[in-house]
Copies of this chain bind each other. A is one copy, B any other.
Amino acid sequence: MKEKNASRGPLLIKNVLVEGKPNDIFVDDTGTIAAIGEGIARTCREDAAISIDGNGDLALPGMVNTHTHAAMTLLRGFADDMPLQAWLSEKIWPLEAHLTGDDVYWGTKLACLEMIKSGTVAFNDMYFFMEDAARAVDEMGLCAMLSYGFIDLFSDEKREAECRATERLVAALSGMQNPRIRAAVGPHAVYTVSPHGLRWLSEFAMKEKIGIHVHLSETEKEVSDSVSQWNKRPVRILDECGILTPRTVAAHCCWLDREECALLARKGVHISHNPASNMKLATGRAMPYHWLREDGASVTLGTDGCASNNNLDLFEEMKTAALLQKHAWNSQTLLPATEALGMATSAGARALGFGKGILAVGEPAHIILVDSQAVCNTPLHNYASNLVYSCQGSAVKTTIVQGKVLMKDRVVTGEEAILESASHAAAALVKRAADNSG
C-alpha cells in the first residue's frame, strides 16, 4: 500500500558512512532503498529529484521508540520527585481528567517534533483521543502504531464501552489508509483490565491482524497484588488470556522471573525496556536483560511518556539502558554499544512492523544522518560507542521517513508554530484543571 499524497521523488544521499564505511544511498519514489554502495551516486545522480550531501556523516536506520504516551509531552515537568501514588492521584490523573482531543493533537505534534529532532522515525503509542493523535502523526510524517488505552477496572459495563472505543479507533485508523499508521489494541495492564477484557482484546487483535501494546510487571506491587488476588503472576494471566503473541509489545518487564523470560522469548513477545522511567519512578529492579538475551528474546527500547522521563530522546535512552544494565546486574560487559543500537533500531522496527530497521536494498528508507563532525563524534575511534555513550539526539542532522526528508540540517518545517500551540495547550490544560479543582 503506497502512502496517500506522497509528495516526494527519488532521493539520493551521497557521501555517508554506513557502519563506518563510505557509501551512497539511493531511495526510489515509493520511499524504498533501491541501491546502496560506495560510488553509486555516479549512476543514480540523474534519477534523483532530491540530492543530499552527507559530508561524511553517519547514516543509520532511524530509531524506534516502542513504548510511549506521546501526548504526555504536555505534562513534561508538571510534577516530579513525588511518591508514586501522590504523583498519580494528586497531579497526573486530575490533569488528564481535563484532557481534550485538541490537547492530544498538540501534545502528539510536539512529541513528533521532538522525535524527528532526535532521530526517531517510528513509535508505539498508547493513550486516549487517539484519532487526534493519528491526525498529528499523519501530518508530521512519522510512523506509529497507535492504541487506545483499554481500562475496564473489572466492570462489565466499562468493558463494553472500552471494546466499542477500541473498535472505533481501529476502524478510524484503517479508514486513513496511511501505511505509516498501524493500529494496535492497548490492554493497559493486568491490574486495570479484567481477564474478560484481555480475552476480547486478544481475539479482536487476531481477527484484525493488528498488534497488542501492554504494560507488564513494571512494579513489584503489580506482581505481588496479582499473586494475592489471582494466585498467578501477571505473565501467566496475559498468557492464559492470549495476549502473548509475536505481535505483542510488553513494556517495562522489570519484575520478570527466570521462567517468565523464557516464556516471553518462546512466545515471540517484544519487550520494551524503559530504563529512564523505571529509574525515575524507582521501580526497584532493572529489566533482566541478561536472561532475556540468553533466551533469545526480542528486546527493544522505549522512553515511556514525558511525565516520567522527561524527554523522548532514544540516544539518551540507549546510554541509560547500557549503564543501568551494567549497574543493576553487576557486569562491565552486559549490553554493549552494538546491542543497544540494535535494540533502538532493528529490534524496534521489527516489533512495530515497520521493516527490518536496517539500511539495505528493499527496506523502507527510514534513515537518519548523525553529524560526524560533532564534538561527541570526535575522535571517531568507534562509531557505535560514540552513538551510544557520547552522542545525544541533538547530533542528528537529518531525519528521513519512507524517503521523505522531515528534518534537514536540524530544521523542521513549522517548528515554531508547534512549540507555541503546544505551550498554549499545556498552560490552558493546567488552568482548566486548577479552575475545576476548587
User: Which A residues contact B (CB, under 8 angstroms)?
Assistant: 73-78, 80-84, 87, 110, 113-114, 117, 276, 278-284, 286, 306, 309-311, 313, 316, 319-320, 322-324, 326-328, 330-333, 336-337, 373, 375-376, 378-382, 385-386, 389-394, 416, 419, 422-423, 426-427, 430
Contact = CB atoms under 8 A, between A and B. Distances in A.
Nearest to A276: B323
Contacts of A331: 282
Contacts of A336: 80-81
Most B C-beta atoms less than 10 A away, residue of A382, A416, A427: A382
A392 B390 contact: no
Oligomeric state, in copies: 2
A58 to B, nearest CB: 13
Contact of A378 (B110, B324, B391, B392): B110
A70 to B, nearest CB: 13
Nearest to A315: B392
B379 A337 contact: no
A430 B381 contact: yes
The secondary structure that dominates the A interface is helix
B77 A311 contact: no
Given A81-B333, A316-B316, 4 more contacts: A76-B378, A76-B385, A278-B327, A282-B332
A319 B320 CA distance: 10
Given A320-B323, A323-B279, A80 B379 contact: no
A105 to B, nearest CB: 15
A392 B313 contact: yes
A82 B46 CA distance: 47
B378 A422 contact: yes
Nearest to A425: B379
B310 A386 contact: yes
A382 B392 CA distance: 22
Given A84-B332, A117-B375, A326-B282, A380 B77 contact: yes
Nearest to A339: B81
A394 B393 CA distance: 9
Contacts of A74: 379
Most B C-beta atoms less than 10 A away, residue of A281, A316, A376, A391: A376
Given A280-B389, A282-B332, A310-B390, A110 B77 contact: no
Nearest to A306: B390
Contacts of A330: 282, 284
A395 to B, nearest CB: 8
A326 B281 CA distance: 7
A392 to B, nearest CB: 5
Nearest to A331: B282
Contacts of A422: 378-379
B110 A80 contact: no
Given A87-B332, A282-B330, A78 B375 contact: no
A80 B423 contact: no
A298 to B, nearest CB: 21
Contacts of A327: 278-279, 282-284, 286, 324, 328
Contacts of A379: 73-74, 76-77, 422-423, 426-427
A14 B117 CA distance: 29
Nearest to A83: B332
A117 B395 CA distance: 13
